[in-house]
Amino acid sequence: MTYNRSEISDSIGFSEIIDCKFKTNLLKINFITELTADTAAENAVAAGILATSNSNFKTFTELNAKLAALYGSAIYAEAKKRGDVQILSLCASWLDNRYALENEDITAEMLELFSDCIFSPNAKNDAFDTDSFNIRKKDVLDKIDSEINNKRSYAISQASKIAYSGEPAEFSCYGEKETAMRVTEKSSFEAYKKLLANARIEILFVTAQHNADVAEKLSGSFSSLVRNEINKCALTSQSAIKDEIAEVTQQLDVNQSKMVMVFKSLSDDYTALKLLSTVYGETPFSKLFANVREKLSLCYYCASNYVKSKNTMFVDCGVEKDNIDKARTEIINQLDEIKNGNFSDEDIENTLMSIQNSLSAIGDVPSSYTGWYFGRFCEGDCRTPDEVFSDYKAVTRERIMNAAASMKLDTVYVMAQKEVQD
């Protein structure tokens, strides 16, 4: 594998990752911008429209027919958030030319198609085409509406809103329904132009062999953009710890209650904080799994997740309403156990092996490379998984205990089974 990053301009990066084992290519363009209540929805709609049509393939159907004929190639958009930042991604994936049955130049065709989606969208008079716009606006509205369908992720999202209240991270990457309703063909086109002009842009290309055409084409197109002052987004930002724990219970007509506990830390020993979370609740041999699930049989899942971009740790579980207090007590108790050093060297060694196993797997699917190197860009370096693992190995038991001691409970969100009224 070889990794090369170059800069098209001081705010546009292009990385080529060459790995000959792959039969496919993946090109991902990330637009990094601030997450705000006013702009999140129109940005999400704008990015979505770009993957729907372009000036040559004016409908979703026409574009998809072309993609299907190119051996099921794909062009798609993603909206995500990372801390206080919104990340809009446009992705293209296609088969390597070696697998074309009729000697088609799939790469050249996809590059043209994808480039048109970004630089020659289906728009006129500074407004997106109404059909394409309507499809994507409906998708974004439906995504906002459907958030409640997945009760586990909905509970985490509700807890985030409370934990990050007053910070950009409280907003969904799709925005709120009211603002999404107000997005128009013109406002989303304006958002698209702002993304091209103001967003930090990071491009990643995973391929089996070096292809100068891709870099050349994108470099030419992106360097000709008129760029304004670039959004200075903080990719990591400390979330303030509340003076009093925020406790919110929402009654819903569900069979199982969910509880999300949000802990925050002011420590900057991020590696130890991540290791703490892994020992605590990120593996099937972690403290939460072994005790809350296996020993006390309270939950099917009870897990932790450390979010470095906000220096926050989430613990979530699905539990009977009557057992919520019991689960909460044990979750706190297990964190105290780590704080007090009641864990073995073997726990640390096993956790390190698990982390090493995950890090070594990076590179086995193209998206793991784009995820890793985009993550490194956000961290401000381009270290390899092996280099990052050496940081974990250097963490001592005391640092894990200190990391546990630094965690303060900030928010508890409970989705409770609704009382049945006689």
Judged by CB under 8 A, the stretch of 30-38, 235-243, 348-356, 376-384 that binds other proteins is 348-356
CB of 321 to other proteins, least distance (A): 11
Asked if 22 interacts with other proteins (CB under 8 A), we say yes
Asked if 135 interacts with other proteins (CB under 8 A), we say yes
- Quick one: angle between helices 130-146 and 60-69, nearest 10? 80
CB of 279 to other proteins, least distance (A): 11
C-alpha to C-alpha distance for 140 and 41, rounded to whole angstroms: 7
Asked if 24 interacts with other proteins (CB under 8 A), we say yes
CB of 379 to other proteins, least distance (A): 22
Q: Return all residues near 271 (Cβ < 8 A) that are at least 6 apart.
A: 391, 392, 394, 395
Q: What is the largest CA-CA distance in the chain?
A: 71
C-alpha to C-alpha distance for 352 and 68, rounded to whole angstroms: 43
Binding footprint of other proteins, residue count (CB under 8 A): 68
Single-letter amino acid code for the residue at 216: E
DSSP bridge partners of 207: 18
C-alpha to C-alpha distance for 412 and 422, rounded to whole angstroms: 29
Judged by CB under 8 A, the stretch of 55-63, 115-123, 269-277, 373-381 that binds other proteins is 55-63
Asked if 234 interacts with other proteins (CB under 8 A), we say no
As a residue count, the chain comes to 422
Q: Which is nearer to other proteins, 109 or 167 (CB)?
A: 109
Single-letter amino acid code for the residue at 268: D
Q: What are 286-290's contacts with CB under 8 Å, separation 24+? A: 286/351, 287/334, 287/337, 287/338, 287/343, 288/315, 288/317, 288/331, 288/334
CB of 360 to other proteins, least distance (A): 3
CB of 228 to other proteins, least distance (A): 32
Asked if 293 interacts with other proteins (CB under 8 A), we say yes
Which position among 10, 21, 166, 229 is part of the footprint of other proteins (CB under 8 A)? 21
Which position among 113, 191, 299, 400 is part of the footprint of other proteins (CB under 8 A)? 299
The two structure tokens encoding residue 179: 């603002």
CB of 340 to other proteins, least distance (A): 22
Asked if 146 interacts with other proteins (CB under 8 A), we say yes
Q: Which is nearer to other proteins, 95 or 395 (CB)?
A: 95
Q: Return all residues near 410 (Cβ < 8 A) that are at least 6 apart.
A: 163, 239, 241, 242, 245, 246, 262, 263, 264, 312
C-alpha to C-alpha distance for 192 and 50, rounded to whole angstroms: 9
C-alpha to C-alpha distance for 129 and 101, rounded to whole angstroms: 35
The string over 191-201, giving b where at least 16 C-beta atoms fall within 10 Å of a residue's C-beta and e elsewhere, is bbebbbebbbb
Q: Which is nearer to other proteins, 7 or 349 (CB)?
A: 349
Taking the C-alpha atoms of 166, 169, 174 and 176 in order, what is their torsion angle to the nearest 10 degrees?
-10
Q: Which is nearer to other proteins, 34 or 320 (CB)?
A: 320
Asked if 416 interacts with other proteins (CB under 8 A), we say no
Contacts of other proteins in 242-261 (CB under 8 A): 252-256
SS3 64: helix
C-alpha to C-alpha distance for 305 and 312, rounded to whole angstroms: 8
Q: Find out whether 283 and 354 touch, Cβ atoms under 8 Å.
A: yes
Asked if 421 interacts with other proteins (CB under 8 A), we say no
CB of 366 to other proteins, least distance (A): 9
CB of 225 to other proteins, least distance (A): 28
Asked if 139 interacts with other proteins (CB under 8 A), we say yes
DSSP bridge partners of 412: 247, 261
Q: Which is nearer to other proteins, 265 or 334 (CB)?
A: 334
Judged by CB under 8 A, the stretch of 120-128, 166-174, 215-223, 290-298 that binds other proteins is 290-298
Asked if 284 interacts with other proteins (CB under 8 A), we say yes
Contact letters (x/-) for other proteins, 148-167, by CB under 8 A? xxxxx---------------
In whole angstroms, what separates CA 198 from the centre of its chain? 21
Contacts of other proteins in 70-109 (CB under 8 A): 70-73, 95, 99, 101
C-alpha to C-alpha distance for 285 and 392, rounded to whole angstroms: 18
Asked if 345 interacts with other proteins (CB under 8 A), we say no
Q: Which residues bind other proteins (CB under 8 A)?
A: 19-24, 59-62, 64-65, 67-73, 95, 99, 101, 131, 134-135, 138-139, 142, 144-152, 252-256, 283-285, 289-290, 293-294, 297-301, 318-320, 350, 353-354, 356-358, 360-361, 363-365
